Structure 1
Amino acid sequence: MSDLTPLPDLPVTFRPGHTRAILLTAGVAIFLTISAVALLLEQLSPGERLSFIFTGALICWVLAQLARIKVVADESGVTVVNIVTKRHLEWAEIVQVNLRPGDPWVFLNLSDGTSLPALGIQPGLAKQRAIADARALRELAEVRSTAGGAEDRG
């Protein structure tokens, strides 16, 4: 980001919007379709109908879990919500924000020497948006993790 591009106001949430919409729409459509089939098949017993509906609900829940991924940056740091995990990081813990060509999502290099995938920023369907989001998060991490960085920016 250049000095002409302002940092996003905090809190800011990064998430793959198209992917989220597709997953949630597919989940609801699958649930409704399986439930309709269960109710329309007259030869099914009540238990079998219930198992169809439960299966549809389970598929919908799994797709909703996939759709919940996000990265939230606020004054205290960054919260990374992946498929089954949620982790809050202080700004100082983030050493580097990486989105290299071919990466499926952003990786955060941490001060403890580990790397954390941040699935909320992924170049799948909206590559330019993911690049812009990764740059914004990188700039926020650089400004917030250095002492006095916020004063130098303003």
Structure 2
Amino acid sequence: MSFVVRPRRVRLFAGLGAVVLFAMFAVAGVFLRESDTGVNFRLSDQIAMVGIGLFLALGALWFTRPRVRADRDGVEVRNMLGARRFSWSEIEQVSFPDGSPWARLELPHDEYVPMVAIQALDGERAVAAMRELRRVRREATESPRSPR
């Protein structure tokens, strides 16, 4: 009983964006020396342009990082800057507030953790992910655990 979800549309757009960014800077780097602008470009400038394109492409791919992984013991939420694991006993509710861009874990004392991997942009896929996450939570909290 394990469940993993990642955002779909953001991953698609980030991947396409990364390819376009890298391609634009690589083409610009290749043809930089050929330009008749009066500026003297060298090989190091061309390499730098390709490097900048690679750096920006990797930055775009950073948006593919979010993930939610749930199992019998709890939930691991990996967002842009880090990952945290929560046991089911720490979680009061799994919710997707109206108008919110993504789902969240409700914790005690009015705290919450956003789950960027379950995004409103994904539409029906996000609804299915929430249903599955709630099912895993229900099974983990209601069924008696067998000794290991």
TM-score, normalised to structure 1, is 0.80
* Aligned mates of 1:46, 1:112 — CA distance in 2: 58
The one-letter code matched in structure 1 to 2:129 is: D
1:14 equivalent in alignment to 2:17? no
Shift in Å at residue 135 of structure 1?
Answer: 2.3
Unaligned runs of at least 5 residues, structure 2: 34-39
1:59 equivalent in alignment to 2:56? yes
Shift in Å at residue 107 of structure 1?
Answer: 1.1
1:103 equivalent in alignment to 2:94? no
Structure 1, residues 43-73: CA drift from partner, whole Å, max 9, x if none?
5222322321222112111111111111111
Find runs of 4+ consecutive structure 1 residues off by over 4 angstroms: none
* Aligned mates of 1:11, 1:60 — CA distance in 2: 32
The one-letter code matched in structure 1 to 2:138 is: E
Partner secondary structure for residue 99 of structure 2 = coil
Structure 1, residues 79-120: CA drift from partner, whole Å, max 9, x if none?
111011111111221210111221100010124642100000
Partner of 2:131: 135
The one-letter code matched in structure 1 to 2:6 is: R
Contact 1:121/1:133 (<8 A) preserved? yes
1:46 equivalent in alignment to 2:43? yes
The number of equivalent residue pairs is 138
* Aligned mates of 2:108, 2:136 — CA distance in 1: 16
* Aligned mates of 2:43, 2:17 — CA distance in 1: 26
State the structure with more CA Rg. Answer: 2
Give aligned-pair identity as a percent.
Answer: 26
Unaligned runs of at least 5 residues, structure 1: 1-9
Contact 2:3/2:133 (<8 A) preserved? no
TM-align CA RMSD: 1.7
TM-score, normalised to structure 2, is 0.83
